[in-house]
Amino acid sequence: MHTDPTPEGPQITRCRTTADFLAALPWLVGEVPRNCLLIVDFARSRAGVAARIPLPREHTPGVATALVESVLSLLERSGSIDREPAVVIVTDQRFGLRGEAPFRTLADQLLRRLRRSGWFPRELACMAADGWIGFLERSDARAMRPLSQIEASRAALGLDPAELPSDPGALPVCRPDLAAEVTARCAELGLGAPWPPAASETWADETIELLEAAEAPGFATTAEWCARFAQAVSTPQGWFVFAMVAVSDRVLIDSVVHTYGASALAATCVDRTSAAERGGGEAVSIWNLLSDIVSTPRMRTRLRAVLPILSDATSQLPAEWRAGPLSLIGWFWWLCGMPSVAERRIDEALELDPEHALVRLAQRFLTLDPVAEWAVRSRPSRIAA
């Protein structure tokens, strides 16, 4: 076992080989990775930032180039002083009949671009459904290796498969009794009914109270809470208030009201175009306001705490009520630096309602910048190379 006890922290797992590093990846990134490109930054020998970017679905030069540029942008924004990142492609695809590695062209393009930009990866590998390969091996040794080598490394490093992290982004199982109550309450509220009520002056406070209730110690999901949460975040106004308070606090909402007026908050639009169509200078654009958001480490901790509650509530909703909540959950996962999870939630929302404006908004953030800038922060890990 290649571990070193430390006086003030957990054991450090020392990876001597590429197989060791691939074996330790789930513990490093906090989940069993799937169909993504992983970038692990280092502070000397200690692993730091671990970012996951969804793999392209189209095998075209333009798509690959865009992904490569995203990787370079991410590395530059990480502020790394160690320009030797580790990059791993994880895919459900299999090696070709002649041993051709999946995404081999992408790996070659990425390696050339990294080196031209002054980055010299310490690892560049691919884990496929039937084997793995290290692209930095000398050419005569660059071939498919059996997955059993990774399993052997996991055993040698003392990493227990029973302790593998579960998928942090998986939606909880629907609970039939609660789901029936939620469906009945949703029917009473009526999706698509005018909301927030034009005459209400308390709708923003009521939306904020939904979040504050979920953050209270001992909170248990109820049918009433699930239905009102779905009603709120299915509209631009409620979605924006809930999202803004979750990533900051009530002060920013007060600031919006002070700057634009209370009527502007009630007339919140998704993007610049729909805001401009309102006319009169009364509308607020979610895109404008959230594109410039400044985050703090506290935000990510807060979102990680509330996401299981929002996911559980969404699992209990009838299908026609899920698009707005799923778009919000996807956007929150993107903020947390997990675009692979964000993409799954947004794809589920798109299947339910391909034209939902809030789903398209969340998709736009993910498409323009696969990893949110404020998610790129060096954080210590128990993995060393």
Please state the domain count of the chain.
Answer: 2
- The verdict on 309 and 195 lying in the same domain is yes
pLDDT greater than 70 at residue 121 = yes
- The verdict on 151 and 13 lying in the same domain is yes
Q: What digits encode the pLDDT tens for the residues 77-110?
A: 766 667 788 899 999 999 988 888 999 999 999 9
The answer to which of 33-42, 72-81, 298-307 has the lowest mean pLDDT is 72-81
- The verdict on 270 and 309 lying in the same domain is yes
Pull the structure tokens for residue 142. 């660059």
In a domain, residue 380? The reply is: no
* pLDDT range class, residue 11, cuts 50, 70, 90: low
Q: What is the pLDDT of residue 125?
A: 95
- The verdict on 229 and 346 lying in the same domain is yes
State which amino acid sits at residue 109. Answer: Q
pLDDT greater than 50 at residue 10 = no
- The verdict on 113 and 187 lying in the same domain is no
State which amino acid sits at residue 271. Answer: D
In a domain, residue 43? The reply is: yes
- The verdict on 224 and 363 lying in the same domain is yes
pLDDT greater than 50 at residue 39 = yes
Nearest 5°: the CA angle 238, 221, 299 is 55
- Calculate the alpha carbon distances from 156 to 142, 172, 291 in Å: 23, 33, 46
Q: What is the pLDDT of residue 181?
A: 96
In a domain, residue 378? The reply is: no
Q: What is the pLDDT of residue 296?
A: 59
Distance (Å, whole) CA 382 – CA 384: 7
**Residue whose token pair is 């799923």:** 326
Q: What is the mean pLDDT of the chain?
A: 81
- The verdict on 202 and 124 lying in the same domain is no
pLDDT greater than 50 at residue 378 = no
CA-derived radius of gyration, the chain: 23
CATH number of 128's domain? 3.40.140.10
Between 64 and 355, the higher pLDDT residue:
355
* pLDDT range class, residue 170, cuts 50, 70, 90: confident
- The verdict on 135 and 184 lying in the same domain is no
Residue (of 253, 247, 238, 360) closest to 306 by Cα position = 247
Q: Among 8-17, 49-58, 374-383, which range has the highest average pLDDT? A: 49-58
Q: What is the pLDDT of residue 218?
A: 92
Task: Describe the strand order of the beta sheet including 36-43 as a list of residue ranges.
Answer: 3-6, 9-14, 383-384, 46-54, 36-43, 86-90, 123-127, 132-134
- The verdict on 92 and 184 lying in the same domain is no
In a domain, residue 114? The reply is: yes
In a domain, residue 250? The reply is: yes
The answer to which of 126-135, 185-194, 309-318 has the lowest mean pLDDT is 185-194
> Average pLDDT, stretch 280-302?
67
> Average pLDDT, stretch 152-163?
86
Q: What is the pLDDT of residue 116?
A: 92
Domain region containing 142: 3-166
pLDDT greater than 80 at residue 136 = yes
Distance (Å, whole) CA 283 – CA 270: 10
- The verdict on 25 and 152 lying in the same domain is yes
In a domain, residue 374? The reply is: no
**Helical pair 176-189 and 223-233, crossing angle rounded to 10 deg:** 50
In a domain, residue 336? The reply is: yes
pLDDT greater than 90 at residue 375 = no
Between 235 and 249, the higher pLDDT residue:
235
- The verdict on 180 and 157 lying in the same domain is no
Question: For a pLDDT cut of 90, what percent of the chain falls above it?
Answer: 38
- The verdict on 18 and 148 lying in the same domain is yes
In a domain, residue 63? The reply is: yes
Q: For residue 345, list its beta bridge partners.
A: none
Nearest 5°: the CA angle 165, 42, 374 is 75
